[in-house]
C-alpha cells in the first residue's frame, strides 16, 4: 500500500491546455543546450551593449539648442507650407 502511494506521489501532474487537452511533458534536459544558452547570452549582451553605446553617444554629442521648441514649430510650419 505504501509503495503504491509513493509511486503515485512521484508521478507528475499532467498539464492541460485551455481547451482541456493534455499537454505532453517537456524534457528539460533538451531545453538547456549549450549553444542555445550561449546564443541567448551573446544576443542579450550585444543588445545591451548597443543600448549603452547609443545612450553614451547621445550624452556626449548632445547640444541643448538643437532640440528647441521654436525650431520644431518652424520646421512644422515649413513642412505645412510646402504641402
Instruction: Give yes or no for a contact between 75 and 82, defined as CB atoms under 8 angstroms apart.
Output: no
**Residue 25 confidence (pLDDT) above 70:** yes
Give the Cα separation of 21 and 47 in Å (integer). Answer: 38
Q: Are 35 and 29 in contact (CB under 8 A)?
A: no
pLDDT tens digits, 28-57: 655 557 778 899 999 999 999 999 999 999
Residue that has been written with the C-alpha cell 521648441 in this structure: 69
Chain-wide mean pLDDT for the chain?
79
Quick check: pTM over 0.85?
A: no
Contacts 24+ apart (CB under 8 A), 59-66: none
Q: Which three cell numbers stand for residue 34?
A: 549549450
Amino acid at each position: 500500500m505504501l509503495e503504491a502511494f509513493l509511486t503515485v506521489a512521484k508521478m507528475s501532474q499532467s498539464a492541460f491546455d485551455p481547451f482541456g487537452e493534455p499537454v505532453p511533458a517537456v524534457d528539460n534536459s533538451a531545453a538547456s543546450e549549450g549553444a542555445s544558452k550561449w546564443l541567448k547570452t551573446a544576443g542579450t549582451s550585444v543588445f545591451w551593449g548597443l543600448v549603452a553605446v547609443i545612450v553614451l553617444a547621445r550624452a556626449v554629442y548632445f547640444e541643448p539648442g538643437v532640440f528647441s521648441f521654436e525650431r520644431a514649430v518652424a520646421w512644422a510650419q515649413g513642412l505645412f507650407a510646402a504641402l
